[in-house]
Amino acid sequence: MGFYVPNTEKQQREMLMDIGLDNFDELFSQIPEEVLLSEGLDIPRGMSEIEVAAKTKEIARKNRVFGTCLRGAGAYRHYIPAIVNNIVNKEEFKTAYTPYQAELSQGILQSIFEYQTMICELTGMDVSNASVYDGAVAAAEAAMMCRDRRRGTVMVSATIHPNVLKVMRTYCGAAGAKLMIVPMTEDNRMDLRALREELSKEEKIACLYVQQPNFFGILEEFDGVADIVHEAGAKFIMGCNPISLGILRTPKEYGADIAVGEGQPLGMPLSFGGPYLGFMAAEKSLMRKLPGRIVGQTTDADGERAFVLTLQAREQHIRREKASSNICSNEALCALTASVYMAAMGPEGLARAARMSMENAHCLAEKLTEAGLLIDDNAEFFNEFVTEIPESAGVSCGDILAMLERKDILGGLPLDDRKMLWCATEVNTISQISEAADVVRELLSDNEKEV
């Protein structure tokens, strides 16, 4: 966090005198001369408030918001009840950063406690922290929780989100940990045979991280995986889409030791990529290893319900060499947004949003198949799925996306020239889905005529 504090020249001279210096050159004398800027920063002149507002609007106009969005891949467009922003934008809550001295505000502590409680209810786990920066960081931090002196190898399924894999690789590299990837089968599922082989050969495995649904939208068969991992002495971590937990089995029911994920679907707009939040929940036995903040409920001197920060395994509070994580903050406003959203929706509302998303996605898959795209009929999926363009079609994913854009539709995420990851949520209407399928059908049929 940075601050801009304007000081007059007189104040600057007084501060220099107080520390026994004559000028700023002496203040920075320890910096090698070759890295100092002799001519100052090459930045534009300052602007007035009117000019800044105009410039900001000019930049904002470059962003295109599509009327129809059929893309997910980790960030999803869901309906956000009006009450969410109404509460979150109250001055008492509005801080993007973690609240310092939170003990002074029982209201802030209660909001965090309620968030933790609902995340536990959603995942089925025993304890949750007050969130971390995003879902990828949550996955990496979970893996670090499982390491000890005897076990330092992190296993990851090849079917997880590639961005999550990059962050986990960065964490493992910094910690000197080995990252082992369990390969996927041809139908985009984790290879269970390869998993068993690696667990039987490698004795230093600390954990296995999987994602349900996986990056390709597939609901994998994870029954019994926890038993296999636990028999090898490792922990089982499951990443999940929080909306899907409205109708799907919880990580707890799969036998997971830690549940993590990206909380963006819980009341946050796409926002050009953030800020978002990573949720983390774990078994009670791992409570003291959870990074960041945990708010606990207690009673005050008068016996009244009260809240307090507790179990903070943070590097500011203990010796750094003993710290389990350097996470020292959380996405406070985003966590509050998620808790308000979950409270507003309730279990029935969340289940309905999940069910409608799943139904719309299956409707989209059916219509795209009728339009001429190929899909894996054996794949069970929640709200995302992969299609493939027939080789004989003579068109690419780029051609389809360009045609859809003309109709104000953001198509799926291209995985290569012929494969695309599509998504639908409760906000997509049947007419939107039909229009997108018609565009694909027209493009494929026109190209066949030309061929």
Q: How is the chain split among helix, strand and coil, in percent rounded to 5?
A: 40, 15, 40
What predicted TM-score, i.e. pTM, was given to this entire model?
A: 0.87
> What is the CATH number that goes with domain 68-74+346-450?
3.90.1150.10
Q: How far apart are CA 164 and CA 269, in angstroms?
A: 20
C-alpha Rg value of the chain to the nearest Å: 25
pLDDT in tens, the chain (451 residues): 345 577 898 999 999 999 999 998 888 888 888 888 877 788 888 899 999 999 999 999 998 899 999 999 999 999 999 999 999 988 877 765 666 666 678 888 898 999 999 999 999 999 999 889 999 999 999 999 999 888 999 999 999 999 999 999 999 998 899 999 999 999 999 999 999 999 988 789 999 999 999 999 999 999 999 999 999 999 999 999 999 999 999 999 999 999 999 999 999 999 887 889 999 999 999 998 898 888 999 998 999 999 988 876 555 565 666 666 777 667 888 999 999 999 999 999 999 999 999 999 999 999 999 999 999 988 999 999 999 999 988 899 999 999 999 999 999 999 999 999 999 999 999 999 999 999 999 999 877 655 5
Q: Are 228 and 161 within 8 A, CB to CB?
A: no
pLDDT score recorded for residue 265: 97
Task: Kindly report, as residue ranges, where domains of CATH 3.40.640.10 are found in the chain.
Answer: 82-343
Burial classification of residue 110, based on how many CB atoms lie within 10 Å of its CB (0-12 exposed, 13-18 middle, 19 or more buried): middle
Q: Are 23 and 12 within 8 A, CB to CB?
A: no
Q: Give a three-class secondary structure readout of 16-59.
A: HHHCCCCCHHHHCCCCCHHHCCCCCCCCCCCCCHHHHHHHHHHH
Task: Kindly report, as residue ranges, where domains of CATH 3.90.1150.10 are found in the chain.
Answer: 68-74+346-450
Q: Does domain 82-343 have CATH number 3.40.30.10?
A: no
